[in-house]
A = this chain, B = another copy of it.
């Protein structure tokens, strides 16, 4: 059995077919990762279904190796550095991430603070954009990052080529004391991607922080980077898109920011530049037009600081799940939803029946991992147990 909460979290994370959304439901309902593993089997079977409950009760075969890898990494911090694993439920776990539908259970952190100092989460502002930015885009990013760091903000970005690297490097030009910049990585904490940014990563850890949800040893995988963006956004009060073409991942970050109620800002540019098309699309959708770091500061909420210690779960007893769902009803919901997201109102208009029964049924489907909640009181069927595709609004 796990001896630390992070070991319990690791078991939940490695349990096949469980997923971050259902892990959030479980941790919120039961009060912590360790408590989930100690929950009575009948209750788990009722809410998760037979197969997932059985998976959760077995020890995942890759769990011992993962524990060993984390322990190795924790012990491997060079002198003057610290390696930390934060588990959802720890006092230092950033409450802002709990706003996500799929918060990570674990965060791996590298910084150069004293070993016993708390992990504080100051107000962040994300500067994001294309890996293939123009020289002007890079210069703007560096300058604004320095100015925002000087003004007391922590510049958040993704350690990638282009705008990301310029954002970190610009923030590190600031002479302010405190956390200047934060890199959200798409790899394990002991990896660097791109490898050319090894030195930059060290500089960030020295005067800021490197953060990832991926396990030590996890190399760069293409699918990790868009997922990483949700953390980058959640830890920021606002997202500034400097340069982005219409297929840029920055537009996904901007959509995520809208969903989370974060301020979205975009920098206009030449209509001849493909790297401005994404920004112009955001401006058309109502993003704030910014042409200076002063504009960014004016658009950011005043005095916002991520709460350091907010209980990330509801300390209430587990909600009584609804009784066994009628397979015919499940089939009707599935047919009504199809592949598209629908509001609960629309779904009720299609299915009829009482509002309370529908909500209870939907909650059970969510626990079973068959349904995802989307922003705007919408729901979407998860056909293969995977994450839903969040569509454009």
Interface residues of A (CB under 8 A from B): 136, 140, 267-272, 276-277, 280, 283-284, 289, 291-292
Contact = CB atoms under 8 A, between A and B. Distances in A.
A140 to B, nearest CB: 7
B271 A269 contact: yes
Q: Pick the 3 closest A-B CB pairs, nearest first.
A: A268-B268, A271-B291, A283-B289
Given A269-B271, A283-B283, 6 more contacts: A136-B270, A136-B272, A267-B271, A268-B269, A268-B283, A268-B289
Given A284-B289, A289-B280, A270 B270 contact: yes
A283 B277 CA distance: 15
A275 B292 CA distance: 16
Report the copy number of this chain in the oligomer.
2
24 contacts: A136-B270, A136-B272, A140-B271, A267-B271, A268-B268, A268-B269, A268-B270, A268-B271, A268-B276, A268-B280, A268-B283, A268-B289, A269-B269, A269-B270, A269-B271, A270-B270, A271-B291, A271-B292, A277-B291, A280-B289, A280-B291, A283-B283, A283-B289, A284-B289
A369 to B, nearest CB: 41
Contacts of A276: 268
Contacts of A136: 270, 272
A268 to B, nearest CB: 3
A268 B279 CA distance: 10
A272 B136 CA distance: 9
